Structure formats: structure tokens, C-alpha cells
Structure 1
Amino acid sequence: MKHIKEPLQTGRLLGKMVWKSGPWLLISIIFFILIEAITPLLQLYASKQMIDGIVEQDAFTHTEIWAVVYACSLVMIGAVKSLEKWVKALLAEKSMMTVNCLLIDAFERIPGMRFFEDPKYRDRLETLRDRSTWLPTQFINISSNLLTAVVSLAGVVLVIAYLSPVLAVILILSTAPFAFVHNHYNEMEWEYNKEYAPVRRKAAYTRHILLSRRSAKEVRLFGLGDFFINLYQSNFKNLYSVLKKIQIRSSRWSVLTGFLSGAGTGLGYFWILSQSGSNHFSVGDISLYLGAVFQLSTALRDIAKEGADTMDIWRMGRDFFLFMNAKIDISLPSKGKRIASKGAMAVEFKDVSFRYPFQEMSAGHQVYDTELEDEDFDLYDDLEDEDLREHHHSESDGRCTEYVLNRVSFSISPGEKVAIVGANGSGKTTLMKLLCRFYEYHEGEIKVNGINIRDMDLHGLRSRMSVVFQEFGKYELSLRNNIGLGDVEALNDEEKLHRAAQAAQLEYVINDLPEGMDTMIGPEWGGTDFSGGQWQRIALARSFVKDAGLVILDEPAASLDIRAEYEIFRQFHSFTEGKTVIMISHRFSTVKMADRILVLKNGKIIEEGSHEELMKQDGEYNKMFRLQAQSFQGKDEVHC
């Protein structure tokens, strides 16, 4: 039942995509298909009539009429094929836009980070993203070819069955093995593409490194060209060796089944010619049936090939269907609670525990799509987040990783500026990701303004936050857009954009740009390229432009030099007035500006207080501060 249900679901989805893209274009293609399918039958019959007319000398006028019919059919089929090609191109282009829009909508519907950080999903995502450019074209072309062949076959089978039903059955059965083999090996290729998707992605990644502007300097400086070329070739040879085995086996069976199909056609020719002496057959009849056998053989092979290719397309479409119907990765309330649209926000973590991956959820919360529950998930390959990287370890028994956060509790009052410090992997960034609702936590509660975030309207929560991530966005757009994207409603608010740029110390940069705020930045489209520190200022300005009640700054000064950091954070309290601020930083010159500091170690808060209070405790914070001071001052002992 599942084998019938899944293709129907996929076919319905693909059909809806094409219909939504251009209903009249699709109707036109169906009309053209019917003409193309019927025309060969008309030509066969016209040929029969012309030959019989030539043999019977007294029917010359009759012969001329059928000659004109045959000639008109040639003109018509030529015109129809040209029109069909043009209409297909238009429909394919519109379908590509439809597919990409559906894909993007599906991404937007998944509120967490599941599809971006789980390698299994990332493989599927890369495949879907690649297919979105050519799948609609393939689906339209292959499906229309299949439909043409099926309609044509139906007519030809009726013609041959009128002569001999047994012959029609023999011809159909002789081609069946060819169709089976073609479909079987298409399925093997599809499974190969799925199974080796990680290897293909690694090959694409090494190619990207060799061709990327970002990595070009190190590749040349360290002489890494040969290393990455060898890595690319190694991955590619691995892929090629498996594909070669499949193709060799496929070609052997294709030859054998092709021989069987050809033998069936030859048998049909022989049987019809053996009837040439019969009084029941005219010369035109013999010509008609010989042509019908040839067309039947051609149509059957076309159906075998196009049918297998259509199944291949539907297998690809199955991934679209699963993706479009994937369950969301965090639980959302049916009617979320809203928080105040103005004012600083209060934050509370109460006994919060979390680990990667989170397959077991408290309070009945379910994360992963049950459609894919048989897959083994690994959330950590190729990830850059330090908390994820530090806390992940492989275990042969398949158990989940250790807790990144272990019963963490703290509260932040409205308008308070709090810094979080700790070694790499202590869980700092994970705290912020949970607060932004990118993941579900296992135990405890996270509250904003006294409301559990699991009960809140997600859009309403995120609209009241402004965040600068470690890996902030660098958009190859104008400077205005790069700043204004923090609050799209402010894109044309010159005063608001100016204040944000001023707070991030971007005024001197803007004054030097040829078109000011409207200057394109980034090298992708020939814009002005910026340094890492300038990009960081833009990210800060983006967070300042939003009228948020909670500002989260994750390593906000990582790319800034000491002077730039001092100039920006000298105004720290003024441009964050009326806002709650959570700041993660390794720079203690920045951390000192906070009202309170939380020290995180091994997923637990071990110290908290102001800079002065923590220095007096002579604990972990004091130790980290002194180590950093030594690195700046170059002294063995630093007195604070």
C-alpha cells in the first residue's frame, strides 16, 4: 500500500507545482501531446491509402487526397513540436520559480536550526537545492514524453490487435524485461546518489575551497593546491568506481533485454510478411501493419525508458514531499502568548539542561520528523559552533552526548547589562541559542517577562530581540540594507539608520564611500570591500537599529582593534539605555562594562557578580582576567 501511496503523493505534489506555475501553458502542452500521439496513426493510415491507390490505377484522385493529408500531417507535427518546445521552456522556467519559492517557504516554516546543522538533513538540503534548478524541466519533458508514448501506444496496439491479438501481446511482453531492467538500474543509481551524498558534498566542498575568494590567499601562501586537488580526486574516484560498477551491470542486462525486444519485433515482421499472400490483405494493409509493428516497438521502448526516468523523477520528488511536509523542529503553542511591545525585558533560566542531539524531550515534546525516524542523526559534523564542537564525542553504544548545560539557573532584571564569560565549550553560545528558540531544551524553564518561552508566540518573542552572532551576516547589498535589515521597517528612516551607524562608529566610513549609505559593499557585485572590523561595526549597527527590549551580543568586539572597541563601548550604556543586554565575550575590557558577570564552566554557573566583586573572590574569573592581562602587558605578574 505504501508503494502506491508514496508515488501518488509525490505525483500530486509535482503536478500541483506545474499547474500552479502556468495552468494554460500546461493545458497547451496536453493538447500538443494528443496531436503528436494521434498524428503517427493518421500517417500510417494515409500511407496505406496511398499505396492501395497506386496499386489500383483507377483511384488516382483518391491517392492525391491522402497524399495531401500526409503532407499536412508533416507540416502540423513540425509546427506543434516547435510550439511545444517554446511552451515547455516557459512552463519550466515558471515552475523553477515555483519550486524554489515552495522550498524557501518550507525553510521558513521550520523555526529552528535542524536543517542547517544536522549532516543528514544538510545532504538532503544540498540535493534539493541543486535539483530545484532542473527538476521542473525534467519532470515536464519526461512526463510529457511518457504521456505521448502511452497515447500513441494505445492506438497502435488497437491496430495490431485487430490483425492479431496474440501478436500484440507477444510484442508487449518482449519489451517488458527491458522496462524492468531500466527501472531497476535507475533505482540503483538513485540509491547510490543518496548513499554517497556526503562524499559528493565533500568533493564539492574541496572544489569550493580551490575556487573560493575567501580561501584563495591561504591556498596560495601555504601551497595547498595539490593537497586539495588530491582530496577532490580521491573523493571523485570513490564516487566514480561505484557508479562504474552499476553502469557495467546495467549495460549487460540492457543488451540482453534489448536483444529480446528486437527479436519480438523481428517476429512480428516475419509473421506479417507471411500473410502477404492472403486475399484478406492488400499491399497497403501490409505496409500499415509493418509500420504499426515498428511504431509499437518504438513506443514500448520509449515507455520503458521514459517510464523508468519518470519513476526516477518521482523518487527525487519524494524528497521534496518529505521536506514540504516535515514536522517543525521545536514545539509551538496553538495560540502563543504575546509580550509587551515596548520596554526592557526580564530573562530567567531555571534549572535548564540541554545536550546535543536532543532526541528525547521532556513534557512530551517531539522534535524530529517521524518520516525519517529510521535514520541515525549526527548533529556535529562540519559544525563551527564552539559549544557543539567541544562537547561532542562519539560513543559506540549510540547514546546522546553529555550535557552542554547542566541545571543552569540565573535571572536578569529589565534594563540590566549582564556579561557571560567562560572557556570555549562552556555553553555560552548555547544559552543564547536556547533563548532565541533555535533548539528545545530538555529540562527546566526559560522565561521572558515571567512567561515560559514555550508558551509564547515565536515571532513576537524574536521581534523583541536584537542579536549579533559570532558568525554575523555579511550581505552583498548596499550599506543601507546591511544596517536596515536589523529592522526592515527602518530601511527608509534616515534618522534611525544614522543613529545606529553613529553608535557603531561608522560615520567616517560612510563619509569616504562614493555613494554614502547607498554604496554597494562586498566584492561579489563589484562593491566596496570592507575589513573584518568594519563588517563587525555594521553587524553592531544592525543590532542597534532595532527597537528591541533584549540585545544579545555574542563576541561583539572579536574583529575590532583596541581603539575601535574603546570608542564604541565608551557609549555602551547610552545606546543600550532602556534595553536588557546579554553580552558574551572573551575580552575583559568589554566585560567590565556589564552590571553583572556570570562565569560559566562545564555547563554550570560557578560565579556571579560585578567585576570588582569577582576579582575579590580570587576564583575562576580572577584567574582568567589575570591571564589575559598578562598577554597584553607581557608581564609575569599583574596587580589588579
Structure 2
Amino acid sequence: MRLWLRKRGTNVPDDRSGLVVAYWESHDEHLLTAGLGTIARRLPSLVAAALRLAWQASPRDTAVALVGNVAAGVFTVLGLVTTSEVLASLFAAGPTPDRVRAALPSLLLVAAATGLRGALLAGSGWAQARLKPLVERLAETRLFELTTRVELAAFDDHDFHNAMRRARDSGVPDTATVVETTIAVLTGAVGVLASAIALGLLHPILMPLLLVAAVPAGWAAVRMARLGYQAFYRLSAARRRKFMLSDLMAERQPAAEVRAFTLRDFLLGQYAKVADLEQGVQLDVARRRAVIKAGGDLMTGIATAGVYVALGALLAVGVIPLSVAGAAVLAIRAGQGSLTALIQTMNRLYEAGLYFGDYLAFREMAQERIPAPLSPPAEPAPFRLLTAENVTFTYPGADRPALSDVSVTVGRGEVIALVGENGSGKTTLAKLLAGLYRPQEGTIRWDGVDLGAFDGEALRRRISVIAQDHTRWPLTVRENIVMGRPLEEDRLAAASAAAGADEVVARLSDGYDALLDRRFRGGHDLSGGQWQRIAVARGFYRDAALVIFDEPTSALDARAEHALFERIRGHADGRTIVLITHRLASVRYADRIYVLDGGAIAEQGTHAELMERGGMYADLYELQASAFQAVP
């Protein structure tokens, strides 16, 4: 568990082994040096933010949890004070039966206070248990509502991506932790306050004794917190390496190469090094914790003896009666437990609060990356002409544009090809034409209207994109093709046949109901070419006016590639096709070919025009064709 520590020089051995600091370790140095004053200053804002979130998740459960804990504290005070009266009756002069009868009313009151306190804490605990999943769901829903709405370019921004992962992996789980520990801190504070009030009511001079008795236990808790977090910090990179090694040895994807290259002994040896380091640190921490605990227990014993001596002195001089001394012992013991719990929950609250702060900060960041709503948004009509005019686009953090001053024209019903070497900007241009990115300079127009004037969701319903790195969704074949759109069996069959995916389905025992993920029982795994056919069928099913194919045949053999391109041409039927490919033989029949080089349009024209020109396209085409010519 990561815990806050007293402020001092860290001097922590760093076993990171050259690994880059992970996004989830962004607050580690801060946690190592945070002192009690830092935590105390930050607590009010954390508590306020946590209670707001809890109230939004469930006002009733939040109120029950808070009121129940406060009310339980009231009955704690009542029980401790009444205990003094019970002891006074039992220690009074007279026959034992008479003293017991005199103590009965107070005994019944103590029993009632104890019972009611238990009932209130049980109700509060039930409310907290209900609150946790509600808070987690609310936080996660709000996060995903934002991540699915932000502009696509945000995911290419390193800072945004790291912030999103911190919010998702640490911030969301810690929202529930913040709420839970906030209530626990309030509970601990109520417990300490209840003990202090009870001692004050018994006799004001007894209140300082609570502090004397509780300080040693608090010191030990802080010291062990420091050791625990130092161990976490020292082992963070080693454990990341251990997770990497475990994936290499226990996951399906690398399993073949582990065996083919006989890596078993090498990987086990690397694992043993990390495990030895982890074991050594853990044993060292266990030893040092045992020493600190022994020291804390010793000091607590000395402090407790001092408290008893002080109580004895107060008894001897007649300041307090024996019954008050007995009740004071109970109150001090209860206060010790509450104070130790309070310190520990403050540790957890402060740490969780840092990651909860990441969650809140990311929500603000993501809100700024959501395209401004249009009023009223334009609805794109089936287009006649799509144009990109002097478009320039630079990815976040890049030192040069991916596209520079690019202009293309796409007419309805045309087949347009984008070709060029790797990194020339083909995929980026396709995403701009699809409205997934917005250019920093220039304009993309749909029948003369800037794409920015359209509602993004409405625009993308008219465009289908089959990406080169298409997602292999862990869903059934049917769901992979339909992708959330209304199911029409005839269209599904037509799209599958057009993409050649019907041949893939025919080989699966469950047909369209086959689950495409071997991690689940009964799941199936497809080859790269089979997945590509499923992805193309997905694009055909949308029945969009503009269909963009990005390397749709990269994983297909020559025969399947030729058949697919013939299907694409046949499936066009009035649709507009934008085709990205490295295989130039496939674009000979395109209405227009744009050759990109270094983010700019180097050439454009039909296949015949570009071959006659003898430029870059002709060189690339002849280079590919030469590979199929007979060797003399």
C-alpha cells in the first residue's frame, strides 16, 4: 500500500533499472516527501470533493453513512460517561446486592448505548457498501462519456493519453477509495473526539492523558507507513519488469517464440533476478517493521504506565474517584484505537486523493478537447463533391507536419487511390477526409460546406472507414460486422459475400454466432487475412456514401486480393471509394490516383497518365512489376 510519509530527505535506493517512469508513478516522489502539514492542508478540499461525488451518486446512502457515524460517536460518549456511574455504584459502600441494584439503571443505559451504537455503525457500514459501486460506476461512466467524445487527435497527444490512463487506471478506482476513506476519517475523528469529550466530562484534567497514551502508537504507524511506501517505491520498476516477464511466459501470443528460440531458461533466469530483489526488499522491510513495532509497543507500554501512574496520583490526592479512573482507562483505550485508525486512513485518503485529483483534472482537460456543439448543427446530404483545399495537419508533439498544403478532389461515384511510401501521409489524409481529424490550416468541404459545420455523429454515419489497424473486437462475427447498427439479415449476407467473409463464416461451427476471441470458452481465432475480410464486411454493411479502405488486402494472398478488389469495384455502385494501398497493380482502374511523398502531393492523374509522365508513380509501379518478371 502506498502511504504518506513524514517530510525528510528520501535517500531511497532506486531500483528502476533504466525503465521509463510509468504514468501511474507520477505522484510517487510527492508521496515520499509529503508531511503531516501537507496532508492536513489538503484534507478539507479532498473531503469536500469526495462528499460531492458521493452525494451525486446516492444522497440517501451518503446521508445515512455520515449521520450514522456521527450518531454512533454520541452514543460512545454516553456509554463511557455512564460507565463511570456504573462503577461509582459498584464501588460504593454497602451490601453487594444493594450496590448491584443501584447500578442496574446505569448498566441498562450502557447496554442501550452500546446496542444503538452497534446498530448505527452497522447501518452506516451497509450504506458505505452500497455507496462504493455506485460511486465507481458514476466516475467510470463520466470518464467514458468524455473519452468517447473527445476529438481523435487527443489520443495522439502524449500528455492527454497519459492523463487519461492515470484517470482510468488509478483515478476511477480511487474515487470510491476517497469516498470510503473520507467517511473512515470522519469516523476516526468522531471516535477520538468522543473519547476526548468523555474524558472532559469525567474531569478536564484527564484530557491530556489521551494524547500521552496515543502519541507512541501514532509514531509507530507513521514510521511503518514510511517503510511500506519506501518498499513500494524501490520495487515499482522491478515489479513492472516482473509483470512483463510473466506476460512473456504465460500469454499465448509470445508462447511460440519462447519455444522456437528456447527462451525458457533465459526468461526464468531474468524472473529469478527480479524475484530475488523483491524478496530481499520484503524481508528487509519485515525486519525493520518488527523493530519499529517493538519500539512502538515499548513506548506505548511506558506511556500507558505513565497514564496509570498519573491516574493513581489523582486518586491518591482525591482529585478523581475510583469510578472515574476506571472509566478514564476505557476512554483512553478507545481513543488510542480511534487515533491509530485515523492516522492510517489519513494516509490512504491523501494518497487516493492525489489520483482522484488526476481524475478531476482529466475531466477538465477532456472537456476542452470536445468539439464545440453547433447551433444548429448542419445535416450532411449525400454529397456530390468532397474537396480538401490546401490542408496542413501536424500531430501533437511532432516537429513537422504530416501533411502540408495538400489539395484533393473526390467526386461522387469515383474510385480514388492514395499511394506512396510509408509515412507519406496517406492514412492521415484519409482520416481528414473522414472528419476524424481537423486540419490546422486549409479546409475540407462536403458539397462546398466546411466539415466543421456538420454534427460529427451525423457526418460519420455517412462515411465508412476500414482502417489498416482495424480493431479485432472480442464479439461474435455478427456483432463484428453489424457494429451496433440495426440488424438486417439480407444486408449482413450481402456485405459478407462482398468482402469474402461468408467463406470465413462457413468454416466456423457457430457461423455468425461464433465468438472471435480465444480467451473465452468456445472462442475462435482468425488469421490476419480472415480478420481483414471481417473488417471489410463491416465497412460494406454501413451502406455509406463514402467508403475508405486503408490497406484492405495487406494480409491477403494474391488470389484473395484480386477477388476482393473486384468485389470492391462491383460494390461501389454509386458509392465513392477512397483506396489506400502499396500494391499499385490494384489501382490501375482508379478514376484518379494521388501520389503522396513527404506529406505533399507529388503527382496526380490516371494510371495511364502517370505512367506516361515517368515520375515517382511510374518508378514504383515498374519496381513492383519487375518482381514478377522472369529472371533470365
What TM-score, normalized by structure 2, do the two folds share? 0.80
Change (3 A) 1:83 1:336: closer
The answer to whether the Cα contact below 8 Å between 2:206 and 2:328 also exists between their aligned partners in 1 is no
Corresponding residue number in structure 2 for 1:404 = 402
Structure 1 residue 42: Cα displacement: 3.3
Aligned to 1:473, which of 448, 471, 474?
471
Note the alpha carbon deviations across 1:84-116, whole angstroms, 9 max, x for none.
Answer: 54443333233332222122112123222424x
Distance 1:439 1:199 in 2: 39
Change (3 A) 1:178 1:554: farther
Distance 2:226 2:150 in 1: 30
1:265-344 superposed matches below 5 A: 267-328=306-367, 330=369, 332-335=371-374, 341-344=380-383
Tell me which amino acid in the other structure corresponds to 1:471: D
Structure 1 residue 215: Cα displacement: 2.8
Q: In structure 2, the residue corresponding to 1:501 is in which secondary structure?
A: helix
Aligned to 1:504, which of 479, 499, 504?
499
Tell me which amino acid in the other structure corresponds to 1:61: R
Q: In structure 1, the residue corresponding to 2:138 is in which secondary structure?
A: helix
1:423-572 superposed matches below 5 A: 423-485=421-483, 488-490=484-486, 492-525=487-520, 526-572=522-568
Corresponding residue number in structure 2 for 1:93 = 133
Corresponding residue number in structure 1 for 2:88 = 52
Note the alpha carbon deviations across 1:294-335, whole angstroms, 9 max, x for none.
Answer: 333333332222223222221121011112221456573442
Distance 1:339 1:200 in 2: 52
Distance 1:280 1:238 in 2: 59
Corresponding residue number in structure 1 for 2:105 = 65
Q: In structure 1, the residue corresponding to 2:469 is in which secondary structure?
A: coil
Tell me which amino acid in the other structure corresponds to 2:599: G
Of residues 592-601 and 40-49 in structure 1, the stretch that sits farther from structure 2 once superposed is: 40-49
Structure 1 residue 8: Cα displacement: 5.8
Answering whether residue 597 of structure 2 is matched by residue 597 of structure 1, we say no
The answer to whether the Cα contact below 8 Å between 2:65 and 2:125 also exists between their aligned partners in 1 is no
Structure 1 residue 524: Cα displacement: 2.7
Corresponding residue number in structure 1 for 2:144 = 104
Q: Which runs of 5+ in 1 are unaligned?
A: 359-399
Tell me which amino acid in the other structure corresponds to 1:108: T
Distance 1:111 1:241 in 2: 47
Of residues 562-571 and 186-195 in structure 1, the stretch that sits farther from structure 2 once superposed is: 186-195
Change (3 A) 1:445 1:263: farther
Q: In structure 1, the residue corresponding to 2:547 is in which secondary structure?
A: strand
Aligned to 2:386, which of 331, 338, 347?
347
Aligned to 1:626, which of 619, 622, 625?
622
Structure 1 residue 21: Cα displacement: 3.4
Distance 1:273 1:34 in 2: 33
The answer to whether the Cα contact below 8 Å between 2:199 and 2:328 also exists between their aligned partners in 1 is yes
Corresponding residue number in structure 2 for 1:363 = none
Corresponding residue number in structure 1 for 2:20 = none
The answer to whether the Cα contact below 8 Å between 2:611 and 2:618 also exists between their aligned partners in 1 is yes
Change (3 A) 1:99 1:565: same
Q: In structure 2, the residue corresponding to 1:524 is in which secondary structure?
A: coil
1:380-399 superposed matches below 5 A: none
The answer to whether the Cα contact below 8 Å between 1:186 and 1:312 also exists between their aligned partners in 2 is no
Distance 1:432 1:39 in 2: 69
The answer to whether the Cα contact below 8 Å between 2:216 and 2:303 also exists between their aligned partners in 1 is no
Tell me which amino acid in the other structure corresponds to 1:24: R
Structure 1 residue 536: Cα displacement: 0.8
Corresponding residue number in structure 2 for 1:417 = 415
Corresponding residue number in structure 2 for 1:361 = none
- The count of residues paired between Structure 1 and Structure 2 equals 591
Structure 1 residue 599: Cα displacement: 0.9
Tell me which amino acid in the other structure corresponds to 1:94: L
Of residues 172-181 and 296-305 in structure 1, the stretch that sits farther from structure 2 once superposed is: 172-181
Note the alpha carbon deviations across 1:201-229, whole angstroms, 9 max, x for none.
Answer: 66645543443323322233223455556
Corresponding residue number in structure 1 for 2:576 = 580
Aligned to 1:30, which of 66, 78, 83?
66
Distance 2:619 2:281 in 1: 56
Tell me which amino acid in the other structure corresponds to 1:403: P
Change (3 A) 1:47 1:340: closer
Distance 1:345 1:175 in 2: 80
Distance 1:542 1:622 in 2: 33
Distance 2:369 2:164 in 1: 19
Instruction: Give the % identical residues.
Output: 25
Note the alpha carbon deviations across 1:521-544, whole angstroms, 9 max, x for none.
Answer: 332322233222121111111111
Of residues 170-179 and 323-332 in structure 1, the stretch that sits farther from structure 2 once superposed is: 170-179
Tell me which amino acid in the other structure corresponds to 1:276: L
Change (3 A) 1:180 1:443: farther
Answering whether residue 195 of structure 2 is matched by residue 156 of structure 1, we say yes
Distance 1:241 1:211 in 2: 25
Distance 1:462 1:88 in 2: 43
Q: In structure 2, the residue corresponding to 1:599 is in which secondary structure?
A: strand
Note the alpha carbon deviations across 1:42-77, whole angstroms, 9 max, x for none.
Answer: 332343222222222343212233334444555555
Tell me which amino acid in the other structure corresponds to 2:189: V
Change (3 A) 1:130 1:210: farther
Change (3 A) 1:448 1:344: closer
Aligned to 2:613, which of 589, 612, 617?
617
Question: What is the RMSD of the two structures over their aligned residues, measured on CA atoms?
Answer: 4.0
Distance 2:431 2:420 in 1: 16
Distance 2:432 2:283 in 1: 47
Distance 1:306 1:285 in 2: 31
Distance 1:409 1:620 in 2: 18
The answer to whether the Cα contact below 8 Å between 2:481 and 2:492 also exists between their aligned partners in 1 is yes
Note the alpha carbon deviations across 1:372-408, whole angstroms, 9 max, x for none.
Answer: xxxxxxxxxxxxxxxxxxxxxxxxxxxx523322222
Note the alpha carbon deviations across 1:434-461, whole angstroms, 9 max, x for none.
Answer: 3345445333333333223334332232
Tell me which amino acid in the other structure corresponds to 1:38: V
Q: In structure 1, the residue corresponding to 2:191 is in which secondary structure?
A: helix
The answer to whether the Cα contact below 8 Å between 1:268 and 1:293 also exists between their aligned partners in 2 is no
Distance 2:149 2:41 in 1: 25
Note the alpha carbon deviations across 1:545-602, whole angstroms, 9 max, x for none.
Answer: 1132221111111112222222222132331222222111112232223211111111
The answer to whether the Cα contact below 8 Å between 1:426 and 1:601 also exists between their aligned partners in 2 is yes
Change (3 A) 1:274 1:187: closer
Corresponding residue number in structure 1 for 2:8 = none
Tell me which amino acid in the other structure corresponds to 1:556: P
Of residues 257-266 and 247-256 in structure 1, the stretch that sits farther from structure 2 once superposed is: 247-256
Change (3 A) 1:442 1:480: same
The answer to whether the Cα contact below 8 Å between 1:479 and 1:521 also exists between their aligned partners in 2 is yes
The answer to whether the Cα contact below 8 Å between 1:38 and 1:152 also exists between their aligned partners in 2 is no
